Structure formats: C-alpha cells, structure tokens
Amino acid sequence: MRIAVLGLGVIGTTYAYALQNAGCDTYHIVREGKEVPQMIPVHLLDGRYNQKGEEKDGKYSIKLAPNNEEFDFILISVASGKLEAAMKTLRDRNIKGTVILFCNFWNERKEVEELIGDYEYITAFPTAGGHMEKDGKLNCVLFDHIMLESHEKANIHNYDELISLLDSADIKQEIPHDMFEWIWIHMAINAGVTSTAAREGKIDDPNRLARELMADSKALSMAVKCIRETLKTVSARGVDLKKYNNEIFAYKIPAGIAGIAMKKLFAGNELTSRIMTLHNDVNDIMYGCRCVYDEGKKHNLELPLFYGNMDRVFAGIS
C-alpha cells in the first residue's frame, strides 16, 4: 500500500517506519523548499513482540510525496489547533486518500467533520511516542496496538484494507465505544497527571517531572485523586463513563493503593515508563490541560486539586 504522512513529526514517522519495514511505500508531505534528509537513524523500543519491549536500531528512508497524487491512507498527527491548516495543505497540493487522524482534540465530531470536509476519515489514537535527538536520530517507543474507531462509526470504504495494513505491521487494534469520547477521557487523564507532576508551578522540563512522579507513590496517589476530578469534565460533556470502565478502573480503587500499584508498574515496565518521559512538547501538553480546565469552569465544576495545580502552572508561565 501507498501511505502518506503529513510532516516529519515523531508519531507519523514512527508508524511510517514500522509500515515501511512491513513492505509499504511511505511518503512524507512537507513544506516545499524544506530540507529533508534521505535517511534518518532510528532507535526503537518495540513492544509489539515482547511485553518488556525490545531495543532496536535501524534506518528509515524518506521519500517526498508529489503533488496531485492519491494514496491509500494519509496519516495526520498534528498538534492542537493545526488540523484546519493540515487539511488545507492536502487540498492545495491535491493529495487524495483516506485520512487517519492521530490527534488529540477536544472538539465535537461535527466540528472535526467540518474541518475534514469531503475527505473520508477515521479517528484513531497512537500508542507510541518519542522525540528527535539533536543528532537527527528518532528515539521512539511503539506499543503493540492502536485505538481505532469502529467500522460503523468510521464509515470509510476501505476499513478492511486499513485492518490488513495494521496487521501487516503487527499492530493490533482496540475498538472503544466511541473514539471521540475515548480521546476526551485520555486527555482528561493526562491533564490530571500533568497538573500533579507540575504542582509546584513549573512545567519547563516534562522529562524530569515525569520521572519524579513515577518514582513517588504519594504523588501518584494525588494524581489519581486529580484524575477523578478531571474525569468530571468528560461526564459534563454527556459521556457515560460506565462504557469506559476498562479505561478508568485504576482510578476507582483507593488512591493510596493505586499510587503504590502505579509506582510498581512504572518501575517494572520500561515501555510505559519510557513513553511517559519522551513526550516533551510543552505546548501540546498544555493544550490538553487548558481544554480540561476551561471545560470545568464552563460547567462550574468543583475541581479543587486540579484548579489549584493548574493555577500555579499558569502563574509560572505568564
């Protein structure tokens, strides 16, 4: 299959690397005139075949997508608020294909569909992460699955081909009740974690904050209590959280026990702990926190832990 990836971001390139190794033709849509290397080195902690992950090194060959081309799928993983510009790029360059959205967004489905326009699209969510090193190496983590919208709700003509594509790269699929609602839950959980990690008012070093949080069972207990608060914002949007018990079960047990269990999980699972430390995009992290914060205020929700943490963060970056 022919796969196009918008940009050379970490998420898109990580999955393109896995798909290229599975035999797909992968291309990148980049700004005209932008300098792009023909190859980048990759260090991957690969969780597809081993629960503990396997350290692997490889090389990823980069090809640029020409204008006026059609692809089987176009993978878009953009930061907050940039989906409209991403779709404009596709239209301006007359690049066609079924869009896979690998994005955090707090939007309603109707809002996203207005931005997507006449492109077929499916909402998904990556279980991968990483960053580009100063020497140009991609340092990344890849789990064995992605979250994927159901066939019925996606309504794309080539859903079966997408499943075959993912299977070819040994990437399983988990299908939640609704992908939009699942993303909101994911963002609310992340906001609770982030606000706890940054409770002293500083967020300039997410890597250090993540490492300190994962090693502190009391702080993790605080994060659980904060997540209970932030999940109220999702309920306020009309989401029935009972349909997502698997996602939120860990935050229902006593916070002290949950904190101890989470500390053990991070200590014993390199995949989970490393993905926590590799996401260093402060603007993207703050987008999710701000969305949850504003939603809580909109509905006059009582979220004392979360608001207190975030108010200190906002004061520190103002």
Tens digit of each residue's pLDDT (9 = 90 or more) over 36-49: 999 999 999 999 99
Say if domain 2-175 classifies as CATH 3.40.50.720. yes
Whether 283 shows a pLDDT value over 90: the answer reads no
Whether 158 shows a pLDDT value over 80: the answer reads yes
For the chain, what is the mean pLDDT? 94
Whether 86 shows a pLDDT value over 80: the answer reads yes
Residue 44's nearest CA partner among 275, 266, 208 is 275
Whether 74 and 95 have beta carbons less than 8 Å apart is answered as: yes
Place of tokens 């869009």: 99
**pLDDT at residue 278, as a whole number:** 65
pLDDT tens, 204-227?
Answer: 888 899 999 999 999 999 999 999
Residue 178's nearest CA partner among 117, 113, 108, 231 is 108
pLDDT tens, 117-140?
Answer: 999 999 999 999 998 998 999 999
**pLDDT at residue 81, as a whole number:** 79
**pLDDT at residue 279, as a whole number:** 67
Separation between Cα atoms, residue 115 and residue 126, nearest integer Å: 21
Cα diameter, the chain: 57
Separation between Cα atoms, residue 258 and residue 220, nearest integer Å: 8
Domain with CATH 1.10.1040 in the chain: 181-317
**pLDDT at residue 10, as a whole number:** 93
Span 235-248, average pLDDT: 95
Span 181-190, average pLDDT: 96
User: Residue 37 burial by CB count (10 A; 0-12/13-18/19+): exposed, middle or buried?
Assistant: exposed
**pLDDT at residue 280, as a whole number:** 67
Whether 281 shows a pLDDT value over 80: the answer reads no
CA angle 14, 105, 169 (to 5 degrees): 25
Say if domain 181-317 classifies as CATH 1.10.1040. yes
pLDDT band, residue 15 (cuts 50/70/90)? very high
Separation between Cα atoms, residue 196 and residue 190, nearest integer Å: 10
Domain with CATH 3.40.50.720 in the chain: 2-175
Percent of the chain topping pLDDT 70: 98
**pLDDT at residue 318, as a whole number:** 66
State phi, psi for 173 to the nearest 5 degrees: -125, 135
What pTM did the predictor assign?
A: 0.94
Span 90-110, average pLDDT: 95
